[in-house]
Amino acid sequence: MKKAIGLFLFVLLIVVGCDNTEEDNYPTNMQGLNVSPDFDFNTTMQVSVKLTSQNANGEVIPNAPFSLYKENPAYLEDKRIIRASTNNEGDFEDIIVLPNYYRKLYIQSGIGEIQELYLNIIGTEEAEINAFFTYDPTDIKGLSKFKISDKFESVTASDNGFDITLHTIFSSTFNATFVFSVTNNHPFGLDTVKFGLPANSEASYPTDGETYTSPTELYTYNIENPTDNPFRAIAFETIGEGYKNGDSDFFIYTVNLAYLSSWDNVQVFAKAGTQTGQVTLNFDYNFNWWFSCQISYPSETEYATLAFEDYWPLEGDYDMNDLVIDYNFTVKYKDDTLIKEIILAKFHLRAIGASYHLGFGFQLPENLEVNGDITSTNGLAYVEADNRTIILFDDARDVIPDNPGQFINTDPTLPYTPTFVIGLAIPVEDNWWEIVQMGPWNCPPYNPFIFVGQRSHEIHLANYPPTLQADFELFGTDNDASDPESDVYYRTTENLPWAFNIGESTVYPIEKTAIIQAFNYFAAWANSDGNNYQDWYKDEPGYRNNDLIYQEP
């Protein structure tokens, strides 16, 4: 028996040792990686989103407002990607960018239930969502969550035993929907409630003569739409005995946005028995109906990270901190189309681990051109002659004050230098009919790059094309293996890059420490051509070597 146990333990040790061999043998330097020419070190994927809105009976319903989130908005309401509406046919279609480890998103239509949407993964850099979602403008569930996510401050007023609250307003392509509650503190049942309408308008929902059932399904009302007594309003007249003695009910109605451009208050009249009350509720809501859609990258409140090595065409030390800059983009569309009208961007310059003077810019895709003056909070941004390339700054040292002879926020032995966020507004013309070269640069952050010392010395992400300002004579020199005829750019002979786009804001190595040493699963990710450890940069147990990562205060 003892011999059997000893043999079993011996075999077990061999098996365990074999299981760890592959992971233990991952290279500890970048040159030891074995990656294919097709792997471009991208941590994001483009997701084709196709949505159709329907009602509770499965019938297609047009112009349904919705928000798409990266995380469940019941817990993390600030991770919204899309705020939009479906079109007249009940459809919405566009492309978003997600970290490539994501497998599902969350959608909420109006103030309705939150639904899960699962991604169909096509590859490490491509996925799709093709789904239906339910829209019911009378569904009161999730009201408080929607109010928070849309940053609407509820308004309450009282008069003669009636407490009246405007909970939220949400707008779609053509309409704005108002959600009220009315509390009746009288011992007499509620007879009538009237909610004000803009001049010359009537509510598009509910319609005149319709029977309205409240979201609580406890009370029903006849609709008079409109009435001019005592002011222009939609009236809800109780069928049967109304509620009383401190009870409440919800009232929802919809008005065409064309009447609301300067509307900032609503009058409400309530009657129970012989008792009446009347209040005016002032609200602050921006009816930006010409922006029917906006898409944010990586979300409305998050940033993603760009990290550059500045030695190109020489290989460098791969600490990837020569310039570290976070970005956030929001693209807004005009009218009820998917034609882009303005791009709002924020850039957080976090670190300069370079002795060179580095500029930074990005190039819009071929179908987009700047259409007017751009504005930047630092006053340094400008547009180049191609009307597609925006230079955020010519020298990073103009943004973060220079400490002579010192790196900025890469050497832990040096003092931390405060950093800055630069805001940018870019009006654009979207030539959506133009045939464009397909690539990840068609979505934010588009085609970002640094330039070293002089404008022509550009460094881009792996396989991202240079601008026309670049010095093409540098391709194929030193360690660079670019082949412009094959659309191969900024790769070494070992297929390594000089820049990374990381789909979420992350940390970076300290000075002279290669990224492969600071992140324990970087090698596993790269050697699998991006299939394993797709979240290698996150703060998960065992993922980071914190002694080799710069710690921001």
| Cβ contact 366:336 at 8 Å | no
Distance of CA 155 to the CA centre of its chain: 29
| Other CB atoms within 10 A of residue 538 CB | 17
Q: How far apart are CA 222 and CA 192, in angstroms?
A: 9
The token pair at 203 is: 């509510």
Q: How far apart are CA 79 and CA 149, in angstroms?
A: 9
3 state SS of 496: coil
Q: Which residues contact 413 (CB under 8 A, 6 or more apart)?
A: none
The token pair at 360 is: 């930074």
pLDDT at 27: 86
Q: Judging by DSSP bridges, how do beta strands 323-333 and 304-308 pair with one another? A: antiparallel
The token pair at 500 is: 């990374």
Q: How far apart are CA 173 and CA 86, in angstroms?
A: 8
pLDDT at 286: 67
4, 290, 306, 346 from 378: Cα distances, Å: 75, 28, 20, 11
The shares of helix, strand and coil residues in the chain, as percent rounded to the nearest 5, are: 10, 40, 50
> What is the full per-residue pLDDT of the chain (553 aa) written as tens digits?
433 434 433 433 333 343 443 445 678 899 999 999 889 999 999 999 999 999 888 889 887 888 899 999 888 767 999 988 888 788 999 999 999 999 999 998 866 689 999 999 998 999 999 999 998 765 544 444 333 334 567 899 999 999 999 988 877 656 788 989 999 999 999 999 999 999 888 998 999 999 999 877 889 999 999 999 999 999 999 999 999 999 999 999 988 877 887 788 999 999 999 999 999 999 877 665 444 688 999 999 999 999 999 999 999 899 999 999 999 999 988 765 678 889 999 999 999 999 889 999 999 999 999 999 999 998 999 999 999 999 999 999 999 876 666 899 999 999 999 888 999 999 999 987 666 667 899 999 999 999 999 999 999 999 999 999 999 999 999 999 999 999 999 999 999 999 999 999 999 999 999 999 999 999 999 999 999 999 999 999 999 999 999 999 8
pLDDT at 319: 96
Q: How far apart are CA 274 and CA 252, in angstroms?
A: 25
Q: How far apart are CA 290 and CA 258, in angstroms?
A: 10
Q: How far apart are CA 302 and CA 306, in angstroms?
A: 14
pLDDT at 147: 36
pLDDT at 325: 98
pLDDT at 21: 39
Which residue reads 């009218």 in tokens?
335
Q: How far apart are CA 407 and CA 454, in angstroms?
A: 20
Q: How far apart are CA 470 and CA 354, in angstroms?
A: 20
Report pLDDT digits (tens) over 424-472: 999 999 987 666 667 899 999 999 999 999 999 999 999 999 999 999 9
pLDDT at 17: 40
The token pair at 438 is: 């397909």
Q: Which of 178, 174, 60 is nearest to 111 (CA)?
A: 178
